Copies of this chain bind each other. A is one copy, B any other.
């Protein structure tokens, strides 16, 4: 299947075969990162603008390196120093950046739907780097890539996602991607953070950690994001850890070869203990490496590159 989309806005609207095209292409780009010269000329002379209205050093750097290794020129547009402070609208800012002959606008924004809005008013390729609590498609893709790389398949796997589901764009992109590719998804956390409406997305909901990870092939732990929670959704970090934190003891309920994932940055001693985070089942750092490969694949495919077969 050849790639035909102009933007990467979410995983919800992608066909399973499109997701697989990205994952196959990312496998080839992962090899570039292991070369002596970690660079290919695919996007030479193209301009990529990182429009991060909500700050994120990790994701921004990952996209920047992905673009640079494709030989693109990258401009970092930080919102704080920008015209947005002077009251300019997102649309005006984006159209001004596009007028600089930008080929790609990579946007992170607090508002769900901001990337979709930009895709309707711009000619440039738009990539969603996280919009509110909506989606974070490249994180979903790198999680899928890491599972596929570790387990050899996605279909039929038992995947438990633990933590703050309600506010998590990572959870939503994972759910869309995993269910499209045939995994069975269980969501687990306190009822305030895992509301029942997620069942409509085809997930099992469970408020007991032991039940959630029993026989799991993959356990994806989400970060407790203090910054996105207006009111306290659970009594304390200590109580969260006691009920939903993962240590070696809890991990025994999962399959012996269960993989532990986390989008980072980790709250050690809250959602995961160091013995697990740094243990042999953890693929947390591999996720970071894979994120770069997935983002290279996305930029490459959007620019018209041929998908790997």
Residues of A at the B interface (CB closer than 8 Å) are 33-39, 44-47, 55, 57-58, 61-62, 64-65, 68-69, 73, 75, 77-78, 81-83, 86-89, 92-93, 95-101, 227, 264-268, 285-286, 288-289, 292
Contact = CB atoms under 8 A, between A and B. Distances in A.
A97 B292 CA distance: 11
27 contacts: A33-B101, A34-B101, A36-B45, A37-B44, A37-B45, A38-B46, A38-B47, A39-B44, A55-B81, A57-B81, A58-B83, A61-B77, A62-B100, A64-B75, A68-B73, A78-B81, A86-B265, A88-B266, A89-B268, A92-B264, A92-B265, A92-B266, A93-B265, A96-B288, A98-B285, A100-B288, A100-B289
B285 A99 contact: yes
Contacts of A267: 87
Contacts of A69: 73
Contacts of A97: 61
A260 to B, nearest CB: 15
Contacts of A82: 57
Contacts of A285: 95-96, 98-99
Closest 3 CB pairs of A and B: A37-B45, A99-B288, A88-B265
Contacts of A264: 83, 92, 96
Contacts of A35: 45
Contacts of A38: 45-47, 101
A96 B265 contact: yes
B65 A100 contact: yes
Specify how many copies of this chain sit in the oligomer. 3
With a 10 A CB-CB cut-off, give which of A35, A95, A100, A268 has the most chain B CB atoms.
A100
Contacts of A36: 45
Nearest to A225: B86
A212 B32 CA distance: 57
Nearest to A82: B57
Nearest to A286: B99
Contacts of A68: 73
Contacts of A265: 83, 86-88, 92-93, 96
A100 B68 CA distance: 12
